[in-house]
Structure 1
Amino acid sequence: MGWPGAHFGALPARARAWVEASVGRRAHVLRARQLRGGTASAVHAVDVGTPSGRVLRLVLRRNVRLTWLMEEPDLAEKEARNLQLLERSAIPAPRLVAVDPNGADCDVPAVLMTRMPGRLVLQPADIEPWLRRMAELLPPIHAFDPGSVLVQKWVLWDDLRLCQPPGWSRRVRDWERLIEIVRGPWPAYEPRFVHRDFQHYNVLWSRGRPTAVLDWVNASMGPVELDFGHFRRNLVADFGFEVAERFLHLYREVVGAEPDPFWEALNLTPEWAKTEQQRRELDAYVGSLVAKIG
């Protein structure tokens, strides 16, 4: 369900006017095109001309899903706050230009930010260096200290504790064991700064190297394995279990530590496995987690 009057298509006149007002007097939108992706928001690349002749290359995220905003009305405000926080870091992330936290000026709650260079690489020609560089992105994120700034505590999106073994599984006992494990006591962890939606759909690349990490709305304080496990789950879905295992080995090399598999298991629910192939790969993943946890 969308925000009344808002949509994912062409950039509305009211949103254009807000962008221009946010950039400054006599600024004008030259071009706007919708970017791929975005399930809860409409994202546009916007080129804005200024009186000096300079062209600003920006991105506008408009939160158009009413159902999401009913659950989290401060989505735009959170993203803006996180982007401001990241200005103190060396993490390659967009910079905040303006925010309309409640849609009073833009047509919906919105964030205007700088456009980062690069493009998505979803099917790398050589997956090994791609995986390693994804792993290398994580330590600087997790080492970032927000200081006195209050960052939200992590939220559990997918909860295996609420699930039953899927009827399609050939590893029902492994599922039962994993569910039993996560229903038990949680291990202690040191809260660290985490992206929370770290995956290849949120990383831009140029000439074989990452240029930006995007989509910081859910940045939180939590176990570092939340980022590691979220990406592993996406690797299992898109590339298969063996590729996800290869990322595990590379991650170990990069961080010099063994990630706690409990946090992977806690977020691992069966609903996202839609195809027969994904279900086979997920079963293999579940079996490996049971073997690691015991």
Structure 2
Amino acid sequence: MTDHDEASAVRPSTLAWASRHLAPGERIVRTEALHGGITAEVRRLTIGTRDGGTRHLVLRSFVDPSSAASAEDWLTRESGALTVLAGTDVPAPALVAVDPSAAHCEYPSLLMTHRPGRTVLDDEGLEARVPLLARQLVAIHAVRPVERPREYVALTTAETVVVPKGADAAAWAAAIDVIREPAPSYEGRFLHRDFQPGNVLFDVPPGRPAGARITGVVDWAAASWGPADLDVSHCSTNLALLHGPAWGRRFAEAYEEAGGVLAAAASERLYWRVRDALACSEEVRSVAQPWREAGRTELTTRAVEERLDAYVTGLMGGPGDGAVSHH
């Protein structure tokens, strides 16, 4: 077995556990690290099949000691979400096996099928991808699970917000006041809870970025029940930071154009949008790092903070949000 990443190769008991979930005559012939996860190690396993071909599985292991306490909950939720999605047309991985308490593996682990495609984080072709992302999210929110996942958790408070250096103080103070209010009532939906370009896989024809199509939606560890606005706001914030503030506003429009329903009152929509943007203020560094590793080297922590400030200022009615520039 070869491994490009010997330092953190898959441990023997985890490999043995994964092997027990293969078809007769199959074996693991290769493991390789996939990048992009913040809390977990993600590996692609190449499986040799009986007829001499290969197929792929994905192994997610929570190896970070600081996440050990939450890993069982995350994996239980992810496996529950993948089970719910198995009967739908949402292109999620299929669950193969899960060991949330590390009873068999060195670390809490989940084994699932591999979805084709790749994440696309560059500006080129964005205009074509935004409606696809919006339609995909509408389809996720249309899922009606027999058993609801647990209620969403919003960890940000007015006290934990980190105001970026040089930010528009008045706009941020006004935004923080928005989330001091109690959360609006809402109609519950099945949420991904981390739906953003880093968790969506595309097939992009060479030289035709406008011909992109979605091939997979991954990372369901935070799946929960809550307002559609929360998922929309999260993707909006990510698009604003990746591609410029105006794209955050554009995504919410695209979601409604695709048939999605947001909160009726503008003040309620603002609450969820601001809440997600402010939550991002606490983790700009960890958000920006995978983007730089994926090739967006210009997205320094400072650059992302400046975009976040412009986005928040725009949400609060200031001059921070320009129109989407059509290339």
In the alignment, residue 303 of structure 2 is paired with which amino acid? Q
Distance 1:138 1:99 in 2: 26
Q: Quick one: which of 149, 153, 156 aligns to 1:155? A: 153
> Does residue 261 of the first structure (1) align with residue 287 of the second (2)?
no
The residue number in structure 1 matching 2:297 is none
1:74 deviates by 2.5
Per-residue deviation, residues 215-247 of structure 1 (Å, max 9, x unmatched) = 011110001111111111112222221222332
Counterparts of 1:279-290 in structure 2 under 5 Å? 279-290=305-316
1:181 to 2:185 alignment: no
Shift of 1:123: 1.0
User: What is the percentage of aligned positions where both structures have the same residue?
Assistant: 33
User: 1:116 is matched with which residue?
Assistant: 115
Q: Is the 8 A contact 1:165 1:175 kept in 2?
A: no
Match in the other structure for 1:234: 238
Alignment of 1:1-294 (within 5 A): 9-51=8-50, 53=52, 55-147=54-146, 149-157=147-155, 159-163=156-160, 166=163, 168-207=165-204, 208-255=212-259, 257-258=261-262, 260-269=269-278, 270-273=281-284, 275-291=301-317
Give 3-state SS (helix, strand or coil) of 2:190's partner.
strand
Call closer, same or farther: CA 1:42–1:224 in 2, change over 3 Å.
same
- In the alignment, the residues of structure 2 paired with residue 134 and residue 122 of structure 1 have an alpha-carbon distance, to the nearest angstrom, of 13
Structure 2: segments with no counterpart, 5+ residues:
1-5, 205-211, 264-268, 286-300, 319-327
Match for 2:16: what amino acid?
A: A
Checking the alignment, whether the CA contact within 8 Å between 1:165 and 1:172 is kept in structure 2 is no
CA separation of 1:139 and 1:287: change in aligned 2, threshold 3 A: same
* Native 8 Å contact 1:161 1:266 kept in 2: no
Give me the whole-angstrom Cα distance separating, in 2, the residues matched to 1:164 and 1:24.
Answer: 49
8 Å CA contact retained: 1:21, 1:27: no
Q: CA deviation at 1:160?
A: 4.3
Check conservation: 1:20, 1:48, Cα contact below 8 A: no
- Structure 1 length as normaliser, TM-score? 0.88
**Aligned pair in 2 of structure 1 residues 282, 105: CA closer, same or farther (>3 Å)?**
same
Aligned residues of 1:8 and 1:64 also touching (Cα < 8 A)? no
Instruction: From the superposition, tell whether residues 72 and 153 of structure 1 become closer, same or farther in structure 2 (CA, over 3 Å).
Output: farther
Q: Out of 168-177 and 49-58, give the one that drifted further.
A: 49-58
For the aligned residue pairs, the C-alpha RMSD in angstroms reads 2.2
Q: Normalised by the size of structure 2, how large is the TM-score?
A: 0.80
Task: Using the TM superposition, give the Cα deviation of residue 132 of structure 1 relative to its aligned residue in structure 2, in angstroms.
Answer: 1.3
Contact 2:71–2:100, Cα closer than 8 Å, also in 1: no
Residue aligned with 1:84, SS = helix
Deviation, structure 1 residue 78: 1.9
